[in-house]
Structure 1
Amino acid sequence: MAYIYIAWLLFSQILLQVARHEAKVPAIIVFGDSTVDSGNNNQISTLLKSNFKPYGRDFAGGQPTGRFSNSRVPPDFISEAFGLKPLVPAYLDPKYGISDFATGVCFASAGTGYDNATSDVLNVIPLWKEVEYYKEYQAKLRAHIGHHKAREILTEALYVISLGTNDFLENYYLLPKRQVEYTVQQYQDFLIGIAEKFMRELYALGVRKISLTGLPPMGCLPLERTINLLGHHDCTEEYNSVAVEFNVKLKNMVAKVNRELPGYRILLTEKVYQLVYQMIKTPSQFGFDVTEKACCSTGTFEMSYLCSEKSPFTCRDANKYVFWDAFHPTEKTNKILSDYLIPDLLKLFN
């Protein structure tokens, strides 16, 4: 199995090298949560930040950027694979302006979800506000390069969207409000309704190319394993089952919207679940040693400010770990996931 994976990875790298010279996507535009946030939370009043060390310690220059990783996140790798810049800047980052955002911009906010109530938990940017920022960006882009060129970029750009995990782990399973209102299956349907409305709103704004990520095996995140005392700190399979069910519903929604809206191409990257689960269950195939704990601090419950640079427990080599903190992947995991998805993205969107 390991040999097959290595051969596939080499083949995908060849495809990427060829594609870099042929890519037709003019920009990568990002919506979502901490899996794709490149620093927007740095600029808002929230406890959920990562603009301090050890975050970003393996980034160029060893500087934290607000990405919840030791270095880059998936949109960065996707942008580079399409022949664009190797980093997608955060929209709220004052170091960047509209000329930087013309080839890629990130509106994502760590801690957010489809549900507005999820963003309220840690006072982060709700999804509706991400859309408002996008509308503002559209107007700035038109003023910067003209309506015709702006329309071309906005229509041909690839939109990368990653949402949903926080809705369950930060909101539904942690707080009582949604549990009183919905069963977990009803809450899934509630979120799918919001997701469909979001997809249709983007279409009305001129968006045509979307990579939408489904839920990972969220019961296998180190934090969930830490609190799974009765399960001997194994994966919480109840949460994984919910993720699988949600992904099926998301797939059906995507098929419906693709069918009903002419020219719309939404690719649901549902394979993320299987790949992450495989990394966790057979880590040696991917060059990992540790899956049940994260690199940062004790690796059991820490993230954001609990990931202190002063902790003596933080690992020396993050490449041996699937997870960087108790909730987020290492750069190596992000790259493996991106390399797995990019050939499909290049095939569909070039």
Structure 2
Amino acid sequence: MRKQLFTFLASCLVLIIAAAPRGAEARAFFVFGDSLVDNGNNNYLLTSARADSPPYGIDFPSHRPTGRFSNGLNIPDIISEQMGMESPLPYLAPENKGQNLLNGANFASAGVGILNDTGFQFLNIIHITKQLEYFQQYQTRVSSQIGEEQTRQLVNQALVLITLGGNDFVNNYYLVPFSARSRQFSLPDYVRYLISEYRKVLTKLYDLGARKVIVTGTGPMGCVPAELAQRSRTGECAVELMRAASLFNPQLTNMINDLNNQLGSNVFMAANTMDMHMDFVSNPQAFGFVTSKVACCGQGPYNGIGLCTPLSNLCPNRDLYAFWDPFHPSEKANRIIVQQIFTGSSKYMHPMNLSAVLALESWT
């Protein structure tokens, strides 16, 4: 019975999206987090965490680098595309004003984590506390255009995506041997601390009006080309980083369940990006990839050393590679992830996928 209801709701969504208004009338979309979802905010900062030079953006519609850590579209772009919305502009972009603000905003910044000391080595980045401050500032700016009540409705009805956690391990706890955080916490205690801090972030998002929030877990951090290059001898995923992911992701889902119960509503949706990634990491050929170990753009073992630059090795067909650069999925891999966000089973999306949320919303 549940499966039949799910199929019915998913079918309804196809009709809803087909009939949905496009452009300015579509719902707003707000994005928070790190380089997996940054649309170019770091272009406007003095930071080393940048993707504003070729070959980044080689498959973007303009074929130019935009600040996205991708060969083309990233996850927020593809969600926007699927929903018939404009992809939100980086909040710091000068053109993000007037009518453009009503589409929402992308506050994400490459290098950030749940903790404000994560990514310190990148210098100027927009830590999550600052991203939330910008969200408040955004609402003040929009209120001056359309009034407080209309702004409240815009935010309440918006879709929100937040992607944090990976950098708290890769660019904090495991950044160097005997890092400050690894001396302070055992791994299980560190994970519990991260979850408690993440809960505060999500609660603040709710307090600021977010009511439809996709929260992604970490991917298989030990399997990305950068970690294979540094920690793997025969191509196996790095054990400690996989252990970290296996501790973090279930606790994140449990925390989200608890938070939803506390709020009396399914405000937050947990996206199991670990399993979404592992599907094509463990069996790349089934998804049309030739490899999930070697990055398309990079150098050294697995093309996993250093940054993707004009001097890097570059694969001729990005659709054959699960990873674009040492850390980030290719556009094709991002499309697989977004498909699961929309239609994935309870293995991938909890308590329900985005299609089911939007279908239910249309009947209320």
- Using structure 1 for the length normalisation, give the TM-score: 0.90
TM alignment of 1:162-241, pairs within 5 A: 162-175=163-176, 176-229=179-232, 231-241=233-243
Q: Is the 8 A contact 1:25 1:156 kept in 2?
A: no
Question: Which residue of the partner structure matches residue 109 of structure 1?
Answer: 109
**CA 1:286/1:178 → structure 2, altered by over 3 Å: closer, same or farther?**
same
Question: Which residue of the partner structure matches residue 3 of structure 1?
Answer: none
**Structure 1 stretches lacking a partner, 5+ long:** 1-11
**CA 1:93/1:197 → structure 2, altered by over 3 Å: closer, same or farther?**
same
Q: Is the 8 A contact 1:56 1:63 kept in 2?
A: yes
Question: Which residue of the partner structure matches residue 56 of structure 2?
Answer: 55
Q: CA deviation at 1:22?
A: 4.3
1:158-179: CA deviation from partner (whole Å, max 9, x where unpaired)? 1100010000011101141001
- 2:61 maps to a residue whose letter is A
Question: Which residue of the partner structure matches residue 267 of structure 1?
Answer: 269
Q: Does 1:342 align with 2:342?
A: yes
CA distance in 1, matches of 2:185, 2:296: 36
CA distance in 1, matches of 2:278, 2:95: 37
**CA 1:325/1:17 → structure 2, altered by over 3 Å: closer, same or farther?**
farther
Please give the root-mean-square deviation of Cα atoms over the aligned residues, in Å.
2.0
CA distance in 2, matches of 1:106, 1:264: 23
Question: Which residue of the partner structure matches residue 149 of structure 1?
Answer: 150
- 1:331 maps to a residue whose letter is E
SS in 2 for 1:278: helix
CA distance in 2, matches of 1:286, 1:188: 32
Question: Which residue of the partner structure matches residue 249 of structure 2?
Answer: 247
Q: Is the 8 A contact 1:307 1:325 kept in 2?
A: yes
SS in 1 for 2:298: coil
SS in 1 for 2:161: strand
Q: Is the 8 A contact 1:34 1:110 kept in 2?
A: yes
- 2:288 maps to a residue whose letter is G
1:88-128: CA deviation from partner (whole Å, max 9, x where unpaired)? 21101123214212112100000100011103231221110
Q: Is the 8 A contact 1:297 1:315 kept in 2?
A: no
CA distance in 2, matches of 1:101, 1:188: 36
1:238-287: CA deviation from partner (whole Å, max 9, x where unpaired)? 311221211111111101110111445100011x2112112011111111
CA distance in 1, matches of 2:191, 2:63: 39
Q: CA deviation at 1:18?
A: 4.8
| Identity over aligned pairs, percent | 35
SS in 2 for 1:102: helix
1:193-242: CA deviation from partner (whole Å, max 9, x where unpaired)? 1111111111111211100001111110001111124x423211331122
- 1:295 maps to a residue whose letter is C
Q: Once structures 1 and 2 are overlaid, which stretch shifts more, 172-181 or 115-124?
A: 115-124
- 1:345 maps to a residue whose letter is L
CA distance in 1, matches of 2:235, 2:16: 44
**Structure 2 stretches lacking a partner, 5+ long:** 1-9, 344-352
Question: Which residue of the partner structure matches residue 8 of structure 1?
Answer: none
Question: Which residue of the partner structure matches residue 96 of structure 1?
Answer: 96
Q: Is the 8 A contact 2:13 2:356 kept in 1?
A: no
Q: Is the 8 A contact 2:298 2:326 kept in 1?
A: no
CA distance in 2, matches of 1:286, 1:233: 20
Q: Once structures 1 and 2 are overlaid, which stretch shifts more, 124-133 or 97-106?
A: 97-106
Q: CA deviation at 1:300?
A: 2.5
- 1:42 maps to a residue whose letter is N
1:49-74: CA deviation from partner (whole Å, max 9, x where unpaired)? 00111000100120111000001111
CA distance in 1, matches of 2:297, 2:305: 7
Q: Is the 8 A contact 2:228 2:304 kept in 1?
A: no
- 2:248 maps to a residue whose letter is F
CA distance in 1, matches of 2:20, 2:334: 24
**CA 1:282/1:293 → structure 2, altered by over 3 Å: closer, same or farther?**
same
- 1:35 maps to a residue whose letter is L
TM alignment of 1:66-81, pairs within 5 A: 66-81=67-82
Question: Which residue of the partner structure matches residue 6 of structure 1?
Answer: none
Question: Which residue of the partner structure matches residue 19 of structure 2?
Answer: 21
SS in 2 for 1:29: strand
Q: Is the 8 A contact 2:20 2:26 kept in 1?
A: no
Q: CA deviation at 1:15?
A: 5.3
Q: CA deviation at 1:339?
A: 1.3
Q: Does 1:84 align with 2:82?
A: no
Larger relative contact order (C-alpha < 8 A, sep ≥ 6)?
1
